[in-house]
Amino acid sequence: MASTMLNMTFLLFTSQACCQSLRFTCFLLSSFSFSVQAKSKKTLARPGMKNIVLVEGVRTPFLMSGTTLIHRPLGLLHKTDLPRDAVDYIIYGTVIQEVKTSNIAREAALGAGFSDKIPAHTVTMACISSNQAMTSAAGLIAAGQCDAVVAGGVEFMSDVPIRHSRKMRKTMLSLNKAKTLGQRLSLIGSIRMAHLAPELPAVAEFSTAETMGHSADRLAAAFGVSRVEQDEFALRSHTLAKKAQDAGLLQDIVSFNVPGRDIVSKDNGIRPTSMEQMGKLKAAFVKPHGTVTAANSSFLTDGASAVLIMSEEKAVAMGFKPKAYLRDFVYVSQDPKDQLLLGPTYSTPKVLERAGLSLNDIDVFEFHEAFAGQIMANLKAMDSDWFGQTYMGRKSKVGTPPMEKFNLWGGSLSLGHPFGATGCRLVTTVAHRLQKEGGQYGLVAACAAGGQGHAMVIEAYPQ
């Protein structure tokens, strides 16, 4: 077991429902090595508190919905050096749940061959669902309940559950209870064509009925973010992602074989283009004069991610070399109409204050890119004394991350955004960048539906 390499088992499987559509579930773990980096600043370790470490993180390639995974039953199970009974708990995040596998964490754990004695539960918190899975894992370890927890997330947007209309559902339930042929015929006769119209899932706020893209367009307008600024940022994301992909830096990806096709080993949404080409696209949400387009928005994505989180004491005793410490984290919430996507602005200063750090102490920034307009609006809000004073109760602005430290291996705009899985990608990327770049502290921040947000400070593990 003593080794500088952790072998993690990754399972990706799908099942056939009665309607023959596929259900993408997922899970867990594969193998990667470690690099060396130096430390120079103070550590955030606290006397009397357990050190919680990220031992390893993996993910499937993030794939544009409707491409490689659609209508392909997949299965991959790699045996591992990690004993199946060494995991105490499994937590997974997802957003659009399949009714038949509502606790996807449990079903995936059983499918992966983990002991049926290991508890598992599923969480949902929109785009920060796997963030919640990770911090829940950290909480269990900090409380002394567990020493090793697998956390992760999954989303399969190529085959989302589609419901019958409310009237049709009511009729079908009544049919199930009908006792006589006459009652059944009467209920069948009451069905109208309008009842057959399906209810499609929508990326919209329940409280406002507004799509997230529409909110992003309004947010960009409120902060004066131009179409050119958004396109430039999106182009930056794709260009940096392509550079990282070509350089082999996206080492958290686990390749898998799709029956009848080639081995899938890369994210397939990375598409650097030109400002001229991007400028030709029409507004996607606020038509005709909106600034949010398909090119400067994250795309619907299929994918899964997982991390192994342990107490440092247990990890070292088992011979593992962790990648990073998981330190302070916060969750925030604000108005879901006008401030839906400003989670990073609110969460960043709070988590830095908890950790006793400043923006200047952070070596690596990884912010979730829902829309280019959302990222640029957050950066402008963070750079505004007026916003800090008026809405955040601060004496001055939060300050902005330097772009030479910001999302240097691409982001959700280019890599993709499987809702429930992105958080683990962000944290694992921070750990890898700290090792590669020689930094000590990293910061993850993300917005989420409902006007919520998350931020976490990560500290590099001494190599």
Domain hosting 185: range is 165-199
pLDDT of residue 3 exceeding 90: no
pLDDT of residue 151 exceeding 90: yes
Q: What is the mean pLDDT of residues 236-243?
A: 98
> Can you tell me the distance from the alpha carbon of 210 to that of 206, in angstroms, rounded to the nearest whole number?
8
Percent above pLDDT 70 for the chain: 86
In this prediction, residue 215 carries a pLDDT of: 94
Torsions phi, psi for 91 (to 5 deg): -130, 130
pLDDT of residue 106 exceeding 80: yes
More confident: 295 or 102:
295
Our count of domains for the chain comes to 1
pLDDT band at 67; cut points 50, 70, 90: confident
Active-site residues, by number, are: 127, 447
- Confirm whether 135 is domain-assigned: no
- Confirm whether 380 is domain-assigned: no
Give SS3 for 294. coil
In this prediction, residue 77 carries a pLDDT of: 32
> Looking at 110-119, 137-146, 243-252, 446-455, which range is the least confident one?
110-119
- Confirm whether 293 is domain-assigned: no
- Confirm whether 125 is domain-assigned: no
Percent above pLDDT 90 for the chain: 66
Give SS3 for 239. helix
> Looking at 64-73, 369-378, 441-450, which range is the least confident one?
64-73
In this prediction, residue 72 carries a pLDDT of: 33
Element holding 364 (H helix, E strand): strand 364-367
pLDDT band at 117; cut points 50, 70, 90: very high
More confident: 143 or 257:
143
Who contacts 329 (Cβ-Cβ below 8 Å, separation ≥6)? 131, 135, 138, 351, 454, 455, 456, 457
In this prediction, residue 97 carries a pLDDT of: 81
In this prediction, residue 146 carries a pLDDT of: 97
Token readout for 56 is 């390893």
Give SS3 for 92. strand
Who contacts 49 (Cβ-Cβ below 8 Å, separation ≥6)? 142
Q: What is the mean pLDDT of residues 299-313?
A: 94
Question: Which of 13, 23, 158, 156 is closest to 74 using CA atoms?
Answer: 13
In this prediction, residue 85 carries a pLDDT of: 78
Residue 242: count of CB within 10 angstroms of its CB: 16
Element holding 52 (H helix, E strand): strand 52-59
Token readout for 255 is 């390749």
pLDDT of residue 39 exceeding 50: no
- Confirm whether 172 is domain-assigned: yes
- Confirm whether 243 is domain-assigned: no
pLDDT of residue 242 exceeding 90: yes
pLDDT band at 18; cut points 50, 70, 90: very low
In this prediction, residue 12 carries a pLDDT of: 32
Q: What is the mean pLDDT of residues 94-116?
A: 86
In this prediction, residue 14 carries a pLDDT of: 32
Token readout for 399 is 């300050």
> Looking at 80-94, 227-241, 421-435, which range is the least confident one?
80-94
- Confirm whether 90 is domain-assigned: no
What is the β-pairing status of strands 6-7 and 11-16?
Answer: unpaired
> Looking at 145-159, 183-197, 326-340, 372-386, which range is the least confident one?
183-197
In this prediction, residue 109 carries a pLDDT of: 86
In this prediction, residue 6 carries a pLDDT of: 31
- Confirm whether 185 is domain-assigned: yes
Query: How many degrees, rounded to 5, is the angle at CA 271 between CA 436 and CA 225?
Result: 85
